[in-house]
Amino acid sequence: MNKQNKRRHFLEMAGTTGMAGILASHQAPAFAQGTNLHWLRWNDFVPACDQLFRQSIIPDAEKALGVKIRYETVNGNDLQPRITSGIQSGAGPDLMMLFNNHPH
């Protein structure tokens, strides 16, 4: 069997196996429903940047991704404690602005 036939045989078997799994489940594939995301970010030094996020970038992202984004800004000094408490509690924001210069 040459290399081309081995590849073709593999693809046929992979496709058959995948279809068998889908048919055996007796239900259509599930698609994600509307998702809510919580994004934690620091207040920008330039207030116009925060306005741009809230008025343009966030709505465009919600529309393109099909999700609802709760955009929260905090003082830069409060960011690290919020990240730490969010990770330790397991109930923190989904997206967090991180820096790599904090002690571990």
- With 0.85 as the threshold, say if the pTM is over it: no
CA separation for the pair 42, 76 (Å, rounded): 5
pLDDT for 56 beyond 70:
yes
The region that residue 51 occupies, defined by phi over 0 for left and psi between -120 and 50 for alpha, beta otherwise, is alpha
**pLDDT tens-digit profile of 18-40?**
777 777 776 666 655 678 999 99
pLDDT for 1 beyond 70:
no
